[in-house]
Structures are given as C-alpha cells and as structure tokens.
Amino acid sequence: MTVRDAGLADDRWKKYFDADEIEEILENTTTTMIVSGDYPVHVRLWAQAGAAPSVVIGSSLLGYGLEQARWQLPFFRSGFNVVQFDFPGIGQSGGPRGGCTVEDWIRAWDDATAFAHARFGSPLYGMGVAEDGLTCYYANANKPSMQAMSVHVLYEHGDPDAQSYQGPPPLVGIAALALSVGRRVRPSSTIPLRQVMRYRDVFEEPGDDELSTALTEDPLALKHFELNMAASMMASRRPQVAFEDCRTPMQVIASENNKLFPYRMVKRSYERLGGPKELITLAGKGMWGLSREFNEMYCAHVIRWFKANGAATPR
C-alpha cells in the first residue's frame, strides 16, 4: 500500500501550486522528523535515485516548507537531493507558535545539516531567503561539511538597518528595550503579525495578492510573534564566524527594493565577506515573490552557483 505524505491529506496547500507542481510534490517527497533541543522538527525529503549533491533549506518565518515547495522543486529537477525543515515553532514543527528564538533556529540548522550529512553524505549546500538564510550563515559558515551557501539576506543581528522598516533608530531602540524587558516578565505574550509587517511589503510580484491572501488564511502560517521570539530577533548577536573570516563560498542574492532588509545593509555585509563570493542584484525587485516565475528565476542563480562550487548533478 502506498502511504501519502504527512500534511497532504488537507487540500489547502494545493492552492499555492500549478497542477504539475502538485503532482511532483505528491510523487517525490516523503517526510520524517528530527529532534532539535526540546522540539520535534518536521523534515521534507526529495531524494534522487542515485548519488547526488544535497541542498539543505530552512523554512522562512512567514510560511512553512510545504507551502514553500516552489523553491525546492527547481533543485530536485536539477538533480539535487533536498532536505527541507521547518523551524521550531513554525509550520509543521513543534514548539510554541511564533515563540521560538534565533538560538533555536541556529540549533535546528546544525541538527538538520547533521541529519542531511548522515542521510546523503557530501557535498552539502545551504540556501535561505530571509531569517532562514541569515541563520544558515550563523550555523554553517566554515563548517567542513558545507560546500557553499546562498542567502538572500545577510547582516549581523543588531544592525540598526535591519529594523529600519519598523521606524527611526530612536523608536526602534525603545522598542528593543521594551521587548527585552517584556521577554523577562511575560515571554509568551504575543504581538499580531499585522502590527509588525505587511504582506504587501514582502510579496510584491504581479499576482502575489491572491497567494498572500491564502497565506493569511492558512492555519500553519505565522499569525503572531511571542515577545521571546521578537526580542531574540532584535538583540545584538555576532556570528561565530565573522564575515571577514568566512571561507565558505557565499552567494548573496539581494533585492534592490527590499523594504524589510535594505539593499545597502545586505551589500555592506557582502563586501565584508573574506572568502569566495558572488553578489547578484535583483534590480527593481522587492523582498520576495510567490509566483512560479520568480521562484524559478531565483533558484536558477543558486543552482548555477552550487554547480560552480562542486555540485556535480546527473541532470
């Protein structure tokens, strides 16, 4: 008997995809679970029939792995194994909804990378598009098993530009202080997502309105931040490997008109990288797009970079 994949019994997820994408997901993915710290972490696997390079992909905060399969499919089609995991507190993983921290996400990257290496061996590659990409760097820079990485956002936690979307620096500083105090007193108190950011400032491609509306109605999508999570994202935290000391080949794909993570900040961080690197500027683009065209365009840059750094695929 064929057992269909976890989470697929509910048809809600199908509205994010075209018919052929739905079929590919049904036919080629399986799921499992790993433990990271105190939390079960949901993992989706796309496994090639033979030996192949593998890419590890974390979920971004606003959605979850199944909903974000459009930036997993191109890698599988190109001959990569894909190991995708939902952050603790996000999507199909365990943990308080919107209540886990940057430390939890970095640990999840470590555990997912270790799982991917045990399951598929070398070479491994890492890819992320927002906080998932930033914590990919924090966890994996100079890690011997990580052949190369590609991120959409790069900065040090605590960089004032990273919070410029929330207002001028004095206001952000007051908010950060209030969050730090609130985290100690009532860490599980929540802030509605709509008070922190607007979907229209994240998903700006033509046709994104319909899919972003579906995301707002999706019970697995992020609806609020706990103070514990919000404070951890605003706190200053230097990466274990300074950008200047990074020797892992790094690709940064930066959107020129990103409202949440300003291009100037991402480019400034890119320029500090000390190892092999490549900057791709998405001219005129906002933070992200939900369309098939945007996702396939974006992933084509990443796949080319990984292949230039040792990813020999059968396709």
Q: Which CATH number characterizes residue 238's domain?
A: 3.40.50.1820
What residues contact residue 164 under an 8 Å CB cut-off, 6+ apart? 172, 262
94 token code pair? 């365990």
pLDDT for 5 beyond 70? no
Domain of residue 205: give its range.
Answer: 11-307
Domain membership of residue 248 (yes or no) is yes
Mean pLDDT of 103-126: 97
Most distant CA pair in the chain, distance: 61
CB 141 within 8 A of CB 269: no
pLDDT band of 224, cuts 50, 70, 90 = confident
Which of 46-50, 226-230, 245-249 is the least confident region?
226-230
pLDDT at 2: 45
pLDDT at 173: 58
Domain membership of residue 6 (yes or no) is no
pLDDT, averaged across the chain:
90
What's the CA gap between 20 and 256, in Å, rounded? 32
Domain membership of residue 4 (yes or no) is no
Domain membership of residue 312 (yes or no) is no
What's the total number of domains in the chain? 1
Domain membership of residue 190 (yes or no) is yes
Cβ-based neighbour number of residue 10 at 10 Å: 10
Residue 315 CB burial class (10 angstroms; 0-12, 13-18, ≥19): exposed
Domain membership of residue 165 (yes or no) is yes
Helix, strand or coil, per DSSP, at residue 273: coil
Mean pLDDT of 217-233: 87
Q: For 259-296, how does the pLDDT look when each residue is reduced to its tens digit (9 = 90+)?
A: 999 999 999 999 999 999 999 999 999 999 999 999 99
Mean pLDDT of 230-239: 88
Mean pLDDT of 220-225: 90
Mean pLDDT of 74-89: 97
